[in-house]
Amino acid sequence: MEHTEATGVGPSARYGLPGCLNCGPVELHPVFDGELQNFYCPLCGSCWHLELGFVARVNPDTCPGCQIELVCRERQGLRAGR
């Protein structure tokens, strides 16, 4: 029987993302708001949308239905000093 070593490749690496634009090489997690797929950074709480080679920060107000919507809103409030 041949043994093959498994390697752990994070979700964002499968999409060719280098990491968070704020935090650097951090593993981003794919999230879905019912319409678009975005990528969540667990360190800074930012979500990023990748399309046509461009990356943009996602405003949590535009993502009703996302599974981490409450976390994004909380983190956005902390960044704004509320």
Percent of the chain with pLDDT over 70: 72
pLDDT in the model for residue 12? 52
**pLDDT of amino acid 7:** 46
pLDDT (0 to 100) of residue 4:
45
State the CB neighbour count (10 A cutoff) for residue 69: 16
pLDDT at 13: 53
Q: Are 28 and 17 in contact (CB under 8 A)?
A: yes
Give the up-direction half-sphere exposure of residue 44: CA atoms within 13 A in the CB hemisphere.
18
What residues in the chain have per-residue pLDDT under 70? 1-17, 78-82
Q: Looking at residue 6, what is its pLDDT? A: 46
